[in-house]
Amino acid sequence: MDVLKHFKKGSPKPELPNDGILRLYLMRFCPYSQRASLVLAAKHIPHHKIYIDLTEKPEWYTDFSPLGKVPALQLTAVPGQPALVESLVIAEYLDELYPVRQLLPEDPLQKAQDKILIQRLSPAIDAVYPVLFTKDPPGDALPNFENALDVFEQELTRRATPYFGGAQIGMVDYMIWPWFERFPALKHVVPGEYELDRARYAKLLDWVDLMAKDEAIKEIALDSETHAQFMVTRQEGQPNYDMAFPVAAEE
């Protein structure tokens, strides 16, 4: 059951069936929310989606996420119906609880190295964030962004596999994908239709092409034009969280 709108300040708490099905609180354009959505989709785990307006959060949302962040996953089948927060915590919990199509490696060392690799995306996110969401990004933002991505090109070369997870998509792939889905929007928001250099990032861009064919990603992904349109509303200080929903498009 998905209510295709973002609940905001003053919105009543949604009435959902007491069916024991997981409840995911998210924002449609949030990459951290998308991490949780991808794991749920990849494992075919039933869940309800409740969308949260991050500019004007509903008063009741702190019942599920004390700091008001998304995503939050409410475990309605567990006594007390606790909620988990932080995308990586949620992803690992789901991977352990639903071992079908296990995403994290069994080997403790490889699991630790994969978690470190996920964290190494942070410099790229930090560098490109002002380019995507502010009107006056620093001049060195794009070079810093590209330098941070070199790590992932080198890692795919070292692993010599199509995915970071090996022959199949793993947790690293899903956890970093949301940003790679958004990076092509740069050509719509940066002068000169900016794109990553195919020669410099050959393996990484081949990985992007493979990932885009994954069923879980196709179920959830938005196109670069839609991401760019949302980024413009963010830059203008009036983020339109509902613009991805069909009803919103018709209004």
Catalytic residues: 30
β-strands 72-74, 22-26 pairing: antiparallel
CB contact at 8 A, 81 and 73: no
Return the closest-CA partner of residue 195 out of 185, 210, 206, 204: 185
Q: How far is Cα of residue 23 from the mean position of the Cα atoms in its chain?
A: 17
CB contact at 8 A, 70 and 47: no
Q: How far is Cα of residue 86 from the mean position of the Cα atoms in its chain?
A: 12
Output the CA–CA distances (angstroms, integers) from residue 247 to 3, 116, 243, in the order listed: 11, 40, 8
Question: Where do runs of H (alpha helix) occur along 120-140?
Answer: 122-133
Across the chain, the runs of DSSP E, i.e. the strands, are 2-7, 22-26, 47-52, 72-74, 83-85
Residue 166 CB-density burial (10 A; 0-12 exposed, 13-18 middle, 19+ buried): middle
